[in-house]
Amino acid sequence: MGWSLAVHGGAGPSKHRTYEAEEAHMTALLERGADMLDDGASALDVVTAMVRELEESGQHVDGKGASANSEGVYELDAAVMDGAARRAGAVAALVGFRAPILAARAVMEKTPHVLLAGQGAAAFCGRQGLEQVPDPAAYYTPAVKKALVQGELAHGTVGAVARDASGRLAAATSTGGLLNKLAGRVGDAPLIGSGTWADERVAVSCTGQGEFFIRAAVAADISARMRYGGQTLHAAAAGALADMEAQGGDGGLIAVDAAGNVTAPFVSEGMKRGIATSAGRFEVKTFR
């Protein structure tokens, strides 16, 4: 059985600039993910590793590249979902920790809960011994500066979806959310079924204006369209995205199904994205 992998760096890019550095990093990342999957790694471990490296790159609006909220605080959201076991973990409005995706995974693996938020999430991460950010001003290097927001969509996220060689599906998403968001604002990324979803049928990671993805429950809607409507992955993803767009939002997503098909539709100007499969497909692009 083959494997499939897709990653994204958000649907916020603008045609006012190019993204060579981001595309080069994504290429190296996909090669690493491909090696892991060739070696029999689980989809869950691969999506976690991909998102962790995207967080640390500082190239996207998440992890090191996140922007502060309207009160100057770095509040981050992340989620991971293991489709085979239908397990999920997420953190929302997490302050002070370096790897939100590892925090989400710890929620999934070490608690009976799915989502921890705010102070409780931070206290849990502290008890887990997860790496802290002692000096936010020194650590964070916002990928999109507030002064540069003109001409750029003011949001960003990273994500990964995979189907491993055993046929298991997993999805992971991590974000700094919207620039200038209000304190306490939570987007779609950590909401299972909105920005992140994986089951036995499909794994999905979304990016875009989270409020619209929440109201369209985009990620779970793709699975429902496939399950109840018999739609293909491509039709289901395009249909769910069109429903979101019809509410006035924009963005995109990456998704992989149980047969290893991959899709990466977007209705924004661009979406930093990469796809690799064991059948030899390999592409990294930002625009159409």
Q: Which stretch binds ligand ASP (CB under 6 A): 9-17, 86-94, 104-112, 137-145?
A: 9-17
- Strand 196-198 and strand 282-285: the pairing is unpaired
Structure tokens at 150: 């003109």
Least gap, CB of 265 to ligand ASP (angstroms): 14
187 forms part of the interface with ligand ASP (CB under 6 A)? yes
Size of the site for ligand ASP (CB under 6 A): 17
Q: Which is nearer to ligand ASP, 13 or 260 (CB)?
A: 13
Q: Which residues pair with 91 in a beta bridge?
A: 78, 116
Q: Which residues pair with 151 in a beta bridge?
A: none
Q: Which is nearer to ligand ASP, 37 or 244 (CB)?
A: 244
**Long-range pairs, 225-232, Cβ under 8 A, ≥24:** 226/201, 226/202, 226/257, 227/201, 232/261
Least gap, CB of 176 to ligand ASP (angstroms): 8
- Report the C-alpha gap between 11 and 266 in whole angstroms: 7
Among 155, 163, 201, 273, binds ligand ASP (CB under 6 A): 155
7 forms part of the interface with ligand ASP (CB under 6 A)? no
Q: Which is nearer to ligand ASP, 207 or 223 (CB)?
A: 207
- Report the C-alpha gap between 213 and 46 in whole angstroms: 25
The alpha carbon of residue 274 and the mean position of all alpha carbons in its chain are separated, in whole angstroms, by: 13
- Report the C-alpha gap between 4 and 18 in whole angstroms: 27
- Report the C-alpha gap between 205 and 171 in whole angstroms: 6
- Report the C-alpha gap between 223 and 187 in whole angstroms: 20
Least gap, CB of 6 to ligand ASP (angstroms): 15
Among 9, 89, 195, 274, binds ligand ASP (CB under 6 A): 195
Active site residue 157: yes
HSE of 180 in the Cβ direction (CA atoms, 13 Å)? Answer: 7
- Report the C-alpha gap between 283 and 288 in whole angstroms: 12
Binding mask 68-107 toward ligand ASP (x if CB under 6 A, else -) reads ----------------------------------------
Among 4, 5, 10, 69, binds ligand ASP (CB under 6 A): 10
CA diameter of the chain: 50
Active-site option among 157, 173, 175, 263: 157
Site residues for ligand ASP, 220-259, by CB under 6 A, read none
Q: Which is nearer to ligand ASP, 36 or 143 (CB)?
A: 143
Give the residue numbers marked as catalytic: 157
Footprint of ligand ASP (CB under 6 A): 10-12, 155-157, 175, 177-178, 187-189, 195, 207-210
